[in-house]
Amino acid sequence: MTPYLQQIFKAYQSPIAPKVATSIVSVMNVFATITFLCLVRFVGKRRMYLTVLSGVCISSFVISVYGIILLPSDYNSFNKENNVPELNGSWLVYIPTFFLIIWNYCSYCGILMMPWMFLSELFPFKSRGAAAGLSAAINYIMGFVTIKTYINLEKALSMQGIAMFYCVIATLGLILMYNIMPETENRSLEAIELHFSDSSKKITDWYIPHEDEVRKSNK
């Protein structure tokens, strides 16, 4: 959605000028990155990732419900002849603006940053270089696909429909990550590699013991 934020704010009748709202999002994204870097060491990767992903789920759900209730069923930001009720004098127009900003903030405060930190932790040492390069390539390809398909998706599903679509995707991601995402913060690379090399563990055995716990169990 990022390349189209200005017209999306305009379509949602943002009380803030679309250019200003988009600039606010950009500034908030910088603060989100700084917030992530400052908090991840204390909060932990797993807890922080699940928290911000929950924020994305809630934000996209609220925006979708807002659109379902107040906007026409086929409403999209690419249609210049939209027939939409005027809400400029209502406090309701603040809802999509606020949650779009929160949506982007949560995305940058962990979701977009976390995979890059995991690249140096989750892959075994022998194949880390190749695996990290392949993962980065897949990430860029998927990023290109999501941006390229956004126009067609919004036209097909409407603005409220695509918000709900992203909500469903984020919810599935939340369920998946809750069950398989390990906590690697304050764990050594050796402990992480031993965890994943243990063939007796299931994919849902995500807990990696802290070094202090390992020392206590060995005594």
How confident is the model over 160-200, as pLDDT tens digits? 999 999 999 999 999 999 999 988 888 888 888 888 888 88
**Residue 86, burial from CB neighbour count under 10 angstroms (0-12, 13-18, 19+):** exposed
Mean pLDDT of 70-84: 78
Q: How far apart are CA 115 and CA 135, in angstroms?
A: 9
211: confidence class by pLDDT, cuts 50, 70, 90: low
Banded pLDDT at 212 (limits 50, 70, 90)? low
Question: Rounded to whole angstroms, how far apart are CA atoms 114 and 109?
Answer: 9
Q: Using one digit for the tens of pLDDT, what is the confidence trace for 93-120? A: 899 999 999 999 999 888 888 888 888 8
Instruction: List alpha helices for 71-127, DSSP H.
Output: 94-106, 114-118
- Nearest Cα neighbor of 146 from 136, 158, 154 is 154
**Predicted structure pTM score:** 0.85
Domains defined along the chain, listed by start: 2-118+127-181 (1.20.1250), 182-219 (no CATH)
Q: Write down the pLDDT at residue 219.
A: 54
